[in-house]
Amino acid sequence: MSQISDIWFETRIAAESVRDYLSGGRVRLGVTGLSRAGKTVFITALVQQLTRATEAGLGRRTTLPLFRLLAEERLEAAHLDPQPDYNVPRFAFEEHVDALTHDDRHWPNSTRRISELRVSVEFRRKVGSKKQSGEPERLDIDIVDYPGEWLLDLPLLGKSYAQWSHDTLEAASAAARAPIAAEWRGAAVMADPKARLREPDAQKLAAQFTQYLRAAKTDKFALSTLPPGRFLMPGDLEGSPMLTFAPLNVEEGAVYPPRSIASEMERRYEAYKAQVVKPFFRDHFARLDRQIVLVDALGALNSGPAALRDLETALAEILVAFRTGRANIFSTIFKPKIDKILFAATKADLLHHTSHDRLEGILRLLSARAIKRAHGVGAKIDVVALAAIRATREAMVRHEGERLAAIVGTPVAGQRIGDEEFDGVSEGAIFPGELPSDPRLAFRGDALALTDEDADFRFLKFRPPVAKIGRDGEALPLPHIRLDRAMEFLIGDRFD
């Protein structure tokens, strides 16, 4: 049965390519990252830059000089079009722009589910292009926002319930996780797998397990999540048996009596794989052409080396999904066709520009294992430190007789430096300090030696910047850092 549906799926992809050919081009861009990495802000900024570019200025006036489509004045028009998939929520672009640019300027709300948006671009190819037709052409950019946590679910497809239980319990015993896992692990190890299932017991174990996953994600620990990805972002599956399972101390190959807690948890785990994990990879992931993986490297740096190492592992796990072009158990389910992957460290505006290259260096090291995994699938890979929306500006400030490089912005109300609490209106200057010139130092416990006070000081949360208004009375694209480099890498070649 599964084979028939897989063949049908391949056929559908082939049919889609034919349709693209007939209707102009199309590129499907996946935007992912762990929660709070900056996906919503990135997509909002990217789409605003594209759709408002002709108003904001092309050629020498563009604020995206490295994005050749604009620098070479080949963009004719860009607008939003109905998305191709009617069963996926639409990315709430207008709502997010409103949040960012209206009087009370605030960052968009957390999203936590998949969404999609189509930007249709009319353009002229570059002079001398083999594909040049003289006529304006069209490229549809389908942007898909999905939680990176969902990619971490891929290894589950190759794991039995017993293996997954074993791996998860073991991961929870690592030094960084053990204290927050203690309560749930105690309960999991004590539970008798052969006992008859009582739903309240199952619910309690699942709740304790979820609690542990949630604790690991807080700012304080900033550990990257373990699967199952839907436990922290259940959407409409909340409370369903599909999400009411947890690891138990079970033996590989052992047979547990029907209706025992172990056999029922195993069924739910298998249902989660078949009905949640597999459809996501088959229906969404496999159709992507390009991918950006956003990484809140600064957040992890702020939490210390344990969080950085954990993030590194999560990135490597995420990239397993990209490697399935090779023959392995997953490639019978789906074959990704992604040919470009960009790793981007977000929120670079929280650092002075002298540290941007250093942040890139840290990200390069952080994703080295992931990049190694992605090699061999033939995808081109790059790394960038960016701010999709730049909330700060730079200034030299005198501090105790010294001139120091500072960044200035409007801290969000309630943010504080020492005794001073900001009201959300007045500006504040901070000295973000420098990242180490040798990225390896960031992974060493003693390198940054942040005290709690330093940490708060270093990464204050700023409000979005005030938007300039165009001649048409609407907000122009917001300032950014290196967003043009990211755009050029991800889609620039499709306009050549």
Footprint on this chain of Mg ion (rule: CB under 5 A): 39-40, 111
Least Cβ distance, residue 287 to Mg ion (angstroms): 20
Q: Pattern of binders to ligand GTP over 372-411, x per CB under 6 A?
A: ---------------xxx-x--------------------
Of 36, 90, 126, 337, the one binding ligand GTP (CB under 6 A) is 36
Least Cβ distance, residue 388 to ligand GTP (angstroms): 4
- By CB under 6 A, which span of 34-42, 327-335, 427-435, 439-447 interacts with ligand GTP? 34-42
Give me 284's structure tokens.
């969404």
Q: 98 or 192: whose CB is closer to Mg ion?
A: 98
- By CB under 6 A, which span of 32-40, 252-260, 271-279, 419-427 interacts with ligand GTP? 32-40
Phi, psi of 31 (to 5 degrees): -120, 115
Instruction: Tell me which amino acid residue 71 is.
Output: A
Residue with tokens 């300027």: 105
Do 163 and 252 contact (CB within 8 A), yes or no? yes
Q: Pattern of binders to ligand GTP over 302-341, x per CB under 6 A?
A: ----------------------------------------
Of residues 279 through 298, those in contact with ligand GTP by CB under 6 A are: none
Instruction: Tell me which amino acid residue 214 is.
Output: R
Residue 387 forms beta bridges with which residues?
Answer: 481
107 binds ligand GTP (CB under 6 A): yes
Q: What angle do CA 85, 55, 126 make, to 5 degrees?
A: 75
Least Cβ distance, residue 474 to ligand GTP (angstroms): 21
Question: CA distances (Å), 378 to each of 315, 316, 496, in order?
Answer: 18, 17, 21
Q: 312 or 349: whose CB is closer to ligand GTP?
A: 349
Whether the bond between 479 and the residue before it is cis, its omega within 30 degrees of 0, is no
112 binds ligand GTP (CB under 6 A): yes
Question: What letter would DSSP give residue 485?
Answer: H
Question: CA distances (Å), 101 to each of 203, 259, 392, 466, in order?
Answer: 43, 55, 15, 7
Of residues 456 through 495, those in contact with ligand GTP by CB under 6 A are: 461-462
Residue with tokens 């073991």: 170
Question: What letter would DSSP give residue 91?
Answer: P
- For 411-429, give one letter per residue: b (16+ CB within 10 A) or e: bbeebeeeeeebeeeeebb
Of 39, 74, 323, 358, the one binding ligand GTP (CB under 6 A) is 39
Of 27, 28, 29, 38, the one binding ligand GTP (CB under 6 A) is 38
Of residues 127 through 166, those in contact with ligand GTP by CB under 6 A are: 147
Of 110, 328, 332, 437, the one binding ligand GTP (CB under 6 A) is 110
Instruction: Tell me which amino acid residue 446 is.
Output: D
- Coil, helix or strand at residue 409: strand
Binding positions for ligand GTP, rule: CB under 6 A: 33, 35-41, 107-108, 110-112, 147, 346-347, 349-350, 387-389, 391, 461-462
